[in-house]
Structure 1
Amino acid sequence: MRQTGLLNGAARLRARLARGGILACPGGADALTARLVQQAGFEAVYMTGLGATAARLGTPDLGLMTQSEMADQARAMVRACDLPVIADADTGYGGPLNIRRTIQDYAMAGVAALHLEDQESPKRCGQLAGVRLIDRASAVQRLSAAVAARDEMQANTVLIGRTDALQPEGLDRALDRARAYRDTGIDLVFVDGVKSRAEVEGIAQGLDGPKVVSLVDGTDAAQLGLSDLEDMGFCVALYAVTALFGAISGAGDALTTLAQTGRPPVQSRTDYGDYAQVVDLVSHQAFSHQFESDV
């Protein structure tokens, strides 16, 4: 496998965004899912904090993952695939110096882009009730620190400013925050927590410039097609939970069959050959065989 993702993911992501059109970015909870996203033909993968927390800790997305755990998860995904990795960086994990370290660690891990949100710590999934926000001025300072940290290390990491104000404070307040965040020098703005088509349309109409949308399976907003989102002016569409929900469903069904019948499913859609292809077994064996003795 070529390790191009580790070397220039940010540059390739910037080049892709410059071409225009919308970038569909499925979520990956781990390195294996990142490989599946690549093999499905997508151009980037999103390290979802919700998925990473579920895969690594088996818990809800309630701010339980540490900065080092998140950076380590992102690093593993970068190493596992050749796609630019867009990573959740939660709140930045503290004050300006913590944010500086987060930017450094993510950039050194090869992350192409990351987003920082305006929640209080500990944060929670943007789809949940009870989200608590820091004030707008503090959020602006948080993003300004991220921009300064990136420029200090001369990295080209794409920075995304995320607001979770939509559900607790409404569309107008969320748009006000997003406009203020855009002025800090970040690259993209992101209003999270959308549930309906009307909310997506309101963001598109009220927010100029490059912007990100995240669609959650099962919501009214997720019925919008990629072409619809492109027409509205979004440049990145995150599908954070599609692969995760599919994996939970598939594994649950297979295990239920095994528990009930004492045998694995007869009609499994994946066999060992499929698995070997996903993890690139042939190239690993070929490399190893170059240095093994025939004696």
Structure 2
Amino acid sequence: MKKAEKMREKFCKMMFESDRLTNMVVVPDVLAARVAEQQGFKALFVAGYAASSDLLGLPDRGVLDFNQQLDQLNRVCQAVNVPVFADADTGYGDVENVKRTVQAFEQAGAVGLFLEDQQWPKRCGHMAGKQLVPTEELEAKLRAAVEARHHDNFLIMSRTDARQSYGLEEAINRSKRYKAAGADMVFVEAPQSKDELRQVVKEFPDVPLMANMIEGGDTPLTSADELEKMGYRILVHPNDLTYVDAYADRMLLNELHTTGKTDHSQDRMIEFPEFNQMVGLDKLNSLDQQYSNESMKEYLNN
């Protein structure tokens, strides 16, 4: 069985055969993905906010394009052995572009993706000033996405950003239409209270739901245990690694710039031997040894 197929099957079991919440972190780069897997995360997320920050040093305002997101997704999928879900923004165009996006993300190794109902250029779901497309536009894209996928267990999630501009009732009504159009999973972005989080679950009792927790965002920070009890199946931490990376970079670079050395930062660094082990140097060295000239000569002589 191919790796991608195993990952899709594993993720579907998480969503449809378990009552447990899957705690996921958005990884801004491949190194973060490797570390997250080593720390025990059972699934990972590749999303636009972190990718735009990592690849372009720019905010989540629709400047990250299809190929950049696809390349990032492909690198992460190849580097880890846990399911990877993907942010596909608005699908990067009309329904034909949506079909291309679904097939390319599926081929890259993702276990699924979400499509949202913002106008392009879109922006982070917790930023002000979002503009939405008519509900019918995302319905058509979701139907196209379902038709385009090669495997039924490649999951399609709908995302609506209607809560901020039009209220929770509109966000729920849109999501019901998106579910009817073929979405396997539902994401209502930016509920503004725990009561609203519970209301979403009440309206979708048999549908895998996602919640995301952004420090400083519109949704009150809620623990994994509490969200699981509410009935959510996915908790995503979209920006944690991006923010902590930027903080650590700023602290270290300030010390380097002002003192020319790292005396005060060394106790917060992973040291050379541990880092080499973390990124798999031992495995590469073993591979070199296995296929060295001496080893190959011995193999051929036998």
Gap change, CA 1:196 and 1:252, over 3 Å in 2? farther
Taking the TM superposition and a 5 Å limit, the aligned residue runs for 1:80-229 are: 80-150=79-149, 153-154=150-151, 156-208=153-205, 209-219=207-217, 221-229=219-227
**Percent identity (aligned):** 30
Q: Does 1:251 align with 2:249?
A: yes
* Superposed CA offset, 1:187-217 (max 9, x none): 1000112354343233233333221111112
Q: Which residue of 2 aligns with 1:237?
A: 235
Structure 2 distance, partners of 1:280, 1:240, is: 26
Gap change, CA 1:275 and 1:132, over 3 Å in 2? same
TM-score by length of 1: 0.93
Equivalent position SS for 1:132: coil
Q: Which residue of 1 aligns with 2:299?
A: none
Contact 1:119 1:134 in 2 (8 A): yes
Contact 1:115 1:162 in 2 (8 A): yes
Q: CA deviation at 1:176?
A: 0.5
RMSD: 1.9
Q: Which moved more, 1:265-274 or 1:156-165?
A: 265-274
Q: Does 1:13 align with 2:16?
A: no
Contact 2:90 2:116 in 1 (8 A): yes
Structure 1 distance, partners of 2:41, 2:3, is: 14
Structure 1 distance, partners of 2:192, 2:82, is: 28
Amino acid in structure 1 at the alignment position of 2:85 = I
Q: Aligned pair count?
A: 291
Amino acid in structure 2 at the alignment position of 1:280 = G
Amino acid in structure 2 at the alignment position of 1:103 = V
Structure 2 distance, partners of 1:169, 1:285, is: 57
TM-score by length of 2: 0.91
* Superposed CA offset, 1:18-50 (max 9, x none): 222110001101111111110110100011210
What stretches of structure 2 of length at least 5 have no aligned partner?
A: 296-302
Q: Which residue of 1 aligns with 2:277?
A: 277
Equivalent position SS for 1:190: strand
Higher CA-based Rg? 2
Q: CA deviation at 1:243?
A: 1.5
Q: Which residue of 2 aligns with 1:30?
A: 29
Q: CA deviation at 1:83?
A: 1.0
Equivalent position SS for 1:223: coil
Gap change, CA 1:4 and 1:223, over 3 Å in 2? farther
Q: CA deviation at 1:120?
A: 1.0
Amino acid in structure 2 at the alignment position of 1:173 = E
